[in-house]
Amino acid sequence: DSDSDSDGAADQPKKKKIAVMTSGGDSPGMSPAVRAVVRSGIYFGCDMFAVYEGYEGLVRGGDLLKKMEWEDVRGFLSHGGTDIGTARCAEFRERKGRLQGAYNMVVNGIDALVVCGGDGSLTGADLFRSEWPSLIEELVQTGRLTAAEAEPHRHLTIVGLVGSIDNDMAGTDATIGAYSALERISEMVDYIDETANSHSRAFVVEVMGRHCGWLGLMSGLSTGADYIFIPERPPKHGKWQDELKEICSRHRGYGKRNTTVIVAEGAIDDELQPITAETVKDVLVELGLDTRITTLGHVQRGGTAVAYDRMLSTLQGVEAVKAVLESTPDIPSPVIGIAENQIVRQPLVDSVRDTKMVATAIEAKDFDKAMSLRDSTFAEAYEAYLSTALHDDGSQLLPETERLNIGIVHVGASLSALNATTRAAALYCLSKGHKLFAIQNGFSGLIKDGVIKELSWLDVDGWHNKGGSEIGTNRSLPAEHYGDVAYYLQRYNLNGLLIVGGFEAFTALHQLESQKELYPVFNIPKVVVPATVSNNVPGTEYSLGSDTCLNQLVNYCDAIKQSASSTRRRVFVVEVQGGNSGYVACYAGLVTGAMAVYTPELKINLQTIREDIDLLVDVFDGDRGEDKNGKVVIRNEHASKVYTSELLSDIFSEAAKGRFETRTAIPGHVQQGYTPSSMDRVMAVRFAVQSVKFIEQWSHKAYETLHQGSSHHAVNNLKMLDVMRTHPHNSVVIGIQNALLVFSDIKALYQDDADMRLRKGKTVHWENLSEVGDILSGRSRLRDRR
Ligand code: ATP
């Protein structure tokens, strides 16, 4: 096989042969990564191979090195773990094992290897590449390869993908599998909470992470844990026991019925003494709490990948193949990461070196350095954890004169992360001495009843995972009665306002802003926290609730695809939410392996329908019977007035001529989810804390201007509002842009980015999702063939 390629006509470019393997501990998302590598490789004209059983397969060769076709990876997107097996291979650690690996690659004509694994696997990969020329030399000298056989293989291309649940690799904000593991942990702790509440018990939950506290920290945020132990921020030796007791008793004192403490596997104190679940339990027992330990273990690796990991592994898999195709001998081996929401390439050596530096820093007790080596959001998340879990001890209270009254209102559809946002805002406010007032039942509630309620610590207890809105939400807007809204904001002396919701929240903020001249109280700082399944709020690439929605859609589509397993030839037209924005449809299309995606941005026409029918016919014809599942086509609810889901389904049925059947499937309100996803919960805390901080900063600025540093004045009065008037940028949308947390001025957004008629932002930040989705579904391949 290899000969035929190397001897090919001189003007024929040699077909690249790329192998993909998964190695080390498995993680959800590895199978989707393999699918993406194999299919995009084929799309770009390469021969693709899978190395089964990690480096073991490379060393043993034979059947463990298998040529992969397009159909071989069908269904991989919905599979947990790795379909091509993984192993730990002692032989590969020895030169002898690597020599055999090199031999097996050369005889199969493979010139590039994409390795998906943790830092160990990637260290091995890097070593393999640096040794490669000498391995080839040895194979020639020992007569196992002829010089002619060896010649085309003087260089090895290695590309790394980070598959690890720990999120411990430098150079990437997220590793493939980390968010799935976080989701598993959060689900399990939710279950434990129920029984803990019933019996008024304490639970010590041990989570994975030998050298990395990411899972510990993020699960602490998403489960509202009382305390967490992570290696990067170890508590004081001999002192932590008392601190833990104090915190847990304080929380119990408010009336909390359960206690949750999360311990990362690698937890230590600042003298590097291990802190185990057992030692933590003993402390809680001393406190008089009925305490149990739950070690989550391999459950954390289990299950299928969440939407985010399917997206990450898919985009990164495609990028890995591009990196192979663009590699030259002088470019160092890259590892594919995600940084600032962009898929990026970093030199593998640097990532491995920086990853090791964390462990070294911890060993040297340089914990600040260990923290700084984590990705940019780690420290911010840790601060958010402190302020929502520990700083109710009065240590962070602001002087009386700087304490604020802040209102929070929910606007728009009910959603799963609204309560988590309110809870985090309330806890942060309490830690500073501010008061958070819940405006009940949206703006119309305020206008009709004028009832607002100050939230206490216990009021918001347990809201981290509670779906819906405890304070009530609806679509009403301030324009219903500006005068009444102004009256109540004034009457309750509010110094700032959080408006949580989707496009209505955006509209509400703009309305208040436009009436500032008439109603001075509208000059208070105001922040929209974007929360909508549709993710259509201008100024942000992320809205709370959309991740929950995507996970719902992943589960929904997996289930309906499987429901077709006995008939095999069934296509579902799945109608998804999103308003006039195609974000949810494109993302869902990518992570469910949809054959086609129809969005409002890309108009449906007869030509695309024709092409997609051809694709479906082609897919069912090519089906070798191994893949028993149905196929999915995703249609956004507003993709077309004419081509409704029913009509599309009927057209497909008619054209199928019995080759397949078609059904519509409309998940509807299921997309709002029951409990919020762990990513939404973590982001809810981030958004809430940062939004209140924004209000604090503006109030502080106005106060300083007014009183020139003197601190003996009450904070709220008309003069303050007057000062605010001269600060035109205090009304914003908080959001994520390029993974950075940003505040965008409402007026600028309204002018430049808002499409008020279509109720969405004009910026499309998800183009690459549909491009990659089309490559992997075969849609692009079919188009190119025409
Ligand atoms: P996890 O995140 O689950 O620990 P990992 O990839 O770090 O994943 P390891 O067990 O460290 O898992 O490594 C997996 C395999 O990679 C090893 O069994 C070995 O075959 C290879 N490997 C690891 N380190 C090296 C090394 N320094 N040299 C050569 N091969 C290595």
Mean pLDDT of 688-713: 81
The rounded distance, in Å, linking the Cα atoms of 23 and 87 is: 6
- Residue among 86, 93, 158, 356 to mutate when testing ligand 1 (max atoms within 8 A of CB): 93
Atom of ligand 1 nearest to the CA of 119: 7
pLDDT for residue 12 is more than 90: no
The answer to whether the annotation marks 154 as part of a ligand binding site is no
pLDDT for residue 149 is more than 70: yes
Cite the beta strand spans of 311-442 per DSSP E. 334-339, 342-347, 405-411, 435-439
In DSSP terms, which residues pair with 632 in a beta bridge? Answer: 572
Query: Would you call 166 a catalytic residue per the annotation?
Result: yes
The rounded distance, in Å, linking the Cα atoms of 72 and 315 is: 19
Q: How far is the CA of 256 from the centre of ligand 1 (A)?
A: 44
Token pair of 582 as six digits: 């195609």
Closest residue by Cα to atom 27, ligand 1, is: 124
The answer to whether the annotation marks 650 as part of a ligand binding site is no
pLDDT for residue 716 is more than 70: no
**CA nearest neighbour of 500 among 524, 539, 473:** 473
Closest residue by Cα to atom 18, ligand 1, is: 88
Token pair of 146 as six digits: 């002829």
Q: Answer whether 48's CB lies under 8 Å from 38's CB.
A: yes
Q: Answer whether 119's CB lies under 8 Å from 354's CB.
A: no
- Residue among 21, 53, 92 to mutate when testing ligand 1 (max atoms within 8 A of CB): 92
Separation in Å, CA 638 to CA 492, 718, 753: 41, 46, 20
Query: In degrees rounded to 5, what are phi and psi of residue 352?
Result: -65, -45
**CA nearest neighbour of 687 among 380, 398, 440:** 380
More confident residue, 51 or 451: 51
Closest residue by Cα to atom 12, ligand 1, is: 24
The predicted pLDDT at position 557 comes to 96
Confidence bin at 374 (pLDDT 50/70/90): confident
Q: How far is the CA of 88 from the centre of ligand 1 (A)?
A: 7
Q: Answer whether 455's CB lies under 8 Å from 484's CB.
A: no
pLDDT for residue 519 is more than 70: yes
Q: How many residues make up the chain in this entry?
A: 786
DSSP state, residue 729: T
Q: How far is the CA of 329 from the centre of ligand 1 (A)?
A: 24
pLDDT for residue 8 is more than 70: no
Confidence bin at 715 (pLDDT 50/70/90): low
The rounded distance, in Å, linking the Cα atoms of 711 and 720 is: 14
Q: How far is the CA of 36 from the centre of ligand 1 (A)?
A: 23
pLDDT for residue 5 is more than 80: no
The rounded distance, in Å, linking the Cα atoms of 346 and 333 is: 8
Confidence bin at 323 (pLDDT 50/70/90): very high
Which DSSP helix (H) or strand (E) runs through 134? helix 119-141
The predicted pLDDT at position 626 comes to 53
Tell me the per-residue pLDDT of 272-297, one tens digit each, with 9 for 90 and over: 999 999 999 999 999 999 999 999 99
Distance between first and last Cα of the chain: 29
Closest residue by Cα to atom 2, ligand 1, is: 118
The answer to whether the annotation marks 680 as part of a ligand binding site is no
Mean pLDDT of 110-128: 95
Which residues, 6+ apart, have CB-to-CB distance to 143 below 8 Å? none
Is the ipTM, as predicted for this complex, more than 0.90?
yes
What is residue 636's three-state secondary structure? strand
The rounded distance, in Å, linking the Cα atoms of 748 and 513 is: 12
CA 456 to chain centroid, in Å, comes to 30
The rounded distance, in Å, linking the Cα atoms of 430 and 437 is: 11
**CA nearest neighbour of 425 among 413, 434, 414:** 434
Region label for 367, one of left (φ > 0), alpha (ψ between -120 and 50) or beta (otherwise): alpha
pLDDT for residue 7 is more than 50: no
What is residue 573's three-state secondary structure? strand
Which DSSP helix (H) or strand (E) runs through 227? strand 227-229
Closest residue by Cα to atom 10, ligand 1, is: 24
The rounded distance, in Å, linking the Cα atoms of 528 and 98 is: 56
Closest residue by Cα to atom 30, ligand 1, is: 124
Place of tokens 């150079």: 171
Confidence bin at 73 (pLDDT 50/70/90): very high
Closest residue by Cα to atom 16, ligand 1, is: 121
The rounded distance, in Å, linking the Cα atoms of 588 and 179 is: 17
The answer to whether the annotation marks 238 as part of a ligand binding site is no
The predicted pLDDT at position 714 comes to 58
Atom of ligand 1 nearest to the CA of 118: 6
Mean pLDDT of 763-771: 90
Handedness of CA 5, 6, 12, 17 (dihedral sign): positive
Closest residue by Cα to atom 26, ligand 1, is: 124
The rounded distance, in Å, linking the Cα atoms of 508 and 530 is: 12
The answer to whether the annotation marks 759 as part of a ligand binding site is yes
The predicted pLDDT at position 711 comes to 57
Confidence bin at 699 (pLDDT 50/70/90): confident
The predicted pLDDT at position 718 comes to 67
Mean pLDDT of 16-24: 97
Q: Answer whether 145's CB lies under 8 Å from 152's CB.
A: no
Percent of the chain with pLDDT over 90: 84
**CA nearest neighbour of 428 among 458, 392, 461:** 392
Q: Answer whether 180's CB lies under 8 Å from 27's CB.
A: yes
Q: How far is the CA of 26 from the centre of ligand 1 (A)?
A: 12
pLDDT for residue 2 is more than 50: no
Q: How far is the CA of 97 from the centre of ligand 1 (A)?
A: 13
In DSSP terms, which residues pair with 529 in a beta bridge? Answer: 500
Which residues, 6+ apart, have CB-to-CB distance to 253 below 8 Å? none
Q: How far is the CA of 659 from the centre of ligand 1 (A)?
A: 47
Separation in Å, CA 484 to CA 397, 408, 721: 32, 16, 18
The answer to whether the annotation marks 578 as part of a ligand binding site is yes
The predicted pLDDT at position 375 comes to 79
The rounded distance, in Å, linking the Cα atoms of 162 and 339 is: 13
Closest residue by Cα to atom 20, ligand 1, is: 89
The rounded distance, in Å, linking the Cα atoms of 231 and 354 is: 17
**CA nearest neighbour of 189 among 178, 177, 197:** 197
The predicted pLDDT at position 125 comes to 96
Question: What secondary structure, in 3-state letters, does 101-127 show?
Answer: HHHHHHHCCCCEEEEEECHHHHHHHHH
CA-derived radius of gyration, the chain = 28
Mean pLDDT check: name the lowest of 13-17, 392-396, 465-469, 774-778.
Answer: 13-17
The predicted pLDDT at position 568 comes to 66
Q: Answer whether 777's CB lies under 8 Å from 586's CB.
A: no
The answer to whether the annotation marks 637 as part of a ligand binding site is yes
Options 47, 72, 111, 166, the catalytic residue: 166
**CA nearest neighbour of 43 among 577, 786, 776:** 776
The rounded distance, in Å, linking the Cα atoms of 644 and 660 is: 20
Confidence bin at 712 (pLDDT 50/70/90): low
HSE of 55 in the Cβ direction (CA atoms, 13 Å)?
Answer: 27
- Averaged pLDDT score across all residues of the chain: 93
pLDDT for residue 315 is more than 80: yes
Which residues, 6+ apart, have CB-to-CB distance to 281 below 8 Å? 204, 291, 292, 293
Percent of the chain with pLDDT over 70: 95
Atom of ligand 1 nearest to the CA of 56: 20
pLDDT for residue 82 is more than 60: yes
- Residue among 22, 23, 58 to mutate when testing ligand 1 (max atoms within 8 A of CB): 23
Q: How far is the CA of 98 from the centre of ligand 1 (A)?
A: 13
Closest residue by Cα to atom 14, ligand 1, is: 24
The answer to whether the annotation marks 292 as part of a ligand binding site is yes
> Could you tell me the maximum CA-CA distance found in the chain, to the nearest angstrom?
91
Which residues, 6+ apart, have CB-to-CB distance to 751 below 8 Å? none
At residue 674's C-alpha, the angle toward residues 668 and 677, to 5°, is 105
pLDDT for residue 1 is more than 70: no
**Ligand 1: lining residues by beta carbon, under 6 Å:** 23-25, 55, 88-89, 92-93, 117-121, 123-124, 127, 164
The rounded distance, in Å, linking the Cα atoms of 625 and 628 is: 6
Atom of ligand 1 nearest to the CA of 165: 2
HSE of 308 in the Cβ direction (CA atoms, 13 Å)?
Answer: 21
What is residue 504's three-state secondary structure? helix
Q: How far is the CA of 120 from the centre of ligand 1 (A)?
A: 3
Mean pLDDT check: name the lowest of 192-206, 557-571, 640-654.
Answer: 557-571
pLDDT for residue 136 is more than 50: yes
**CA nearest neighbour of 113 among 313, 327, 346:** 327
Mean pLDDT of 92-98: 97
For the chain, what percentages of helix, strand and coil (3-state, to nearest 5) are there? 50, 15, 35
The predicted pLDDT at position 9 comes to 44
The rounded distance, in Å, linking the Cα atoms of 116 and 313 is: 10
Q: Answer whether 287's CB lies under 8 Å from 226's CB.
A: no
The answer to whether the annotation marks 536 as part of a ligand binding site is yes
Q: How far is the CA of 754 from the centre of ligand 1 (A)?
A: 49
Atom of ligand 1 nearest to the CA of 25: 3
The rounded distance, in Å, linking the Cα atoms of 397 and 412 is: 33
The answer to whether the annotation marks 210 as part of a ligand binding site is yes
More confident residue, 728 or 434: 434
